[in-house]
Amino acid sequence: MDQSFHTIIVGAGCLGTAAAISIAKLISGRGHKASDVCVIDKMVVGSGLSARHSGIVRTANADPTAAVLAQRASEMWADLEEHWGVGIKLENTGALWIARDTGGGRNAKWSGLERSLNEKGIGFNQLSLADARQICPDFVRLNDDEVFYHEPDAFQVDPSNVREALYAAIKKSGVILREKCEVLGFERDYVGDIATVVTSAGSFGCRYVINAAGPWSPSIFAGTGVSIPVSVEPVHVANWLTSLNEMPAGMPIIADYVNLAYFRQWRDGEIHMHQPRKRGIRETARAFSESPLSVLGADFMNDPTNQALGYSQMRIYEELARRRFSNIDQTVYSSGYRSFFDITPDLRFILGPDHRVPNLIHSLGSGQAFKYAPVLGEMMAEYVGGGGPLAGLGLEFSISRFSDGYMAEFWSKVQGCEHVLEAEGTGL
């Protein structure tokens, strides 16, 4: 064995990096050194899904536990210096949520969300059309048959600043970073724990393994008999170059649930847009059954031929953008790319210890993980350290919920696709 660590983290995306930093802090006070933590990436820091997020940090969430975690994460991003020892520039734009009026000038579902979020101290309040106009640039179309909710504490960051912060925080923490080092497999001891992580740069002993390899997880862990139900759903991003004179006071993040698109102000006066994850079980099942992960692991994401935005997709986005913005006709398409949401069968996180391998702990996103990174890092530290309030919150996201029974029911809901996931898992 080349070296031994207290904890090895597989994957240096935003979740893996956050876990490494928090675990190093925790164990440094308990007779270990930060350098007893090693984060490994087969490419470089923040080069997976974390290379393609939109940098939006919103707390409002229909899932109450996710909302609590997002709230804590927002506080941590705002005070990153305290938690990671490095700062990051936040753009405090707030977010405007737009929905259809379902009657009486309200949206029934969102009024309920407003109440439950307010009870948790999360700002999310309906605005009149006139007030919504006040916070948007003139070119944003807001219509009479829509309703508006304001999340004043939402903010955005420039993803390139995030990547710099990840590198700076790793350096500051004293964690060992091994880039361009591929995890190839694992050796287990007599109780079933992972004792050794086998990589392209040698074998490393460890007490704990954190799986933060996102959509690569199924192929990495297949050899240990651990199936991890993660797949990807492709999505496109487009950036439209607009006049800086049209955005004198900036633009709030716009979560447009009428046209199903998110918009934010981006570098260089651009409007950045992408569509949200699809929510239906059929679409989720399709992403699993057609998953290219089974053939190539998640490496197809890094394939340059797979990253461009096609002409017809550009036209679809142009049409969506035109519905919301009056200035898109004179706007230049600036850039775009294909990206991927990491998804699970119920579109929720996989967090916490694995029920089959005692010292394996998962930290996988569910398509919107960037914003949760600092709080999930702390949660991982609590799991390694023997528990705590965040570890308690993580219990409902345990991978054990995807038992055979769960997956059988999942596939039975999707006619004609039964057990495709199982077939896929055995093919890996």
Ligand X SMILES: Cc1cc2nc3c(=O)[nH]c(=O)nc-3n(C[C@H](O)[C@H](O)[C@H](O)COP(=O)(O)OP(=O)(O)OC[C@H]3O[C@@H](n4cnc5c(N)ncnc54)[C@H](O)[C@@H]3O)c2cc1C
- Closest to ligand X by CB, 137 vs 297, is 297
- Closest to ligand X by CB, 12 vs 34, is 12
CB 352 within 8 A of CB 394: yes
- Closest to ligand X by CB, 69 vs 86, is 69
- Closest to ligand X by CB, 47 vs 326, is 47
Shortest separation between residue 75's beta carbon and ligand X, angstroms = 15
Shortest separation between residue 139's beta carbon and ligand X, angstroms = 22
- Closest to ligand X by CB, 367 vs 374, is 367
- Closest to ligand X by CB, 272 vs 324, is 272
**Length of the chain counted residue by residue:** 428
H/E stretch holding 311 reads: helix 311-324
- Closest to ligand X by CB, 26 vs 309, is 309
- Closest to ligand X by CB, 5 vs 411, is 5
Which of left, alpha, beta for 85 (phi over 0: left; psi -120 to 50: alpha)?
left
How far apart CA 61 and CA 30 sit, in angstroms, is: 36
Residues that bind ligand X (CB under 6 A): 10-16, 40-43, 47-50, 52-56, 182-183, 212-214, 216, 220, 235, 237, 274, 339-342, 364-365, 367-371
Shortest separation between residue 261's beta carbon and ligand X, angstroms = 11
- Closest to ligand X by CB, 34 vs 273, is 273
Shortest separation between residue 69's beta carbon and ligand X, angstroms = 11
How far apart CA 372 and CA 91 sit, in angstroms, is: 17
Q: CB-based contacts of 235: which residues, under 8 Å, 6+ apart?
A: 274, 275, 277, 338, 339, 340, 341
How far apart CA 217 and CA 212 sit, in angstroms, is: 8
Checking DSSP bridges between strand 56-57 and strand 37-40, what pairing results, if any?
Answer: unpaired
Checking DSSP bridges between strand 37-40 and strand 350-353, what pairing results, if any?
Answer: unpaired
Q: CB-based contacts of 312: which residues, under 8 Å, 6+ apart?
A: none
- Closest to ligand X by CB, 372 vs 411, is 372
Shortest separation between residue 414's beta carbon and ligand X, angstroms = 23
Three-class secondary structure of residue 251 per DSSP: coil
Shortest separation between residue 143's beta carbon and ligand X, angstroms = 25
Which of left, alpha, beta for 46 (phi over 0: left; psi -120 to 50: alpha)?
left
> Structure tokens of 320?
């969506």
Shortest separation between residue 131's beta carbon and ligand X, angstroms = 25
Q: How far is CA 296 from CA 22, 307, 335, in A?
A: 32, 16, 27
Encoded amino acid at 34, one letter: A
- Give the residue nearest to ligand X (CB): 13
Shortest separation between residue 256's beta carbon and ligand X, angstroms = 14
| Angle subtended at Cα 10 by Cα 6 and Cα 15, rounded to the nearest 5 degrees | 100
CB 324 within 8 A of CB 259: yes
Shortest separation between residue 215's beta carbon and ligand X, angstroms = 7
Checking DSSP bridges between strand 95-100 and strand 253-256, what pairing results, if any?
Answer: parallel
How far apart CA 310 and CA 117 sit, in angstroms, is: 39
Encoded amino acid at 338, one letter: R
Q: What is the dihedral of CA 301, 303, 308, 312, to 10 degrees?
A: -70
Shortest separation between residue 249's beta carbon and ligand X, angstroms = 22
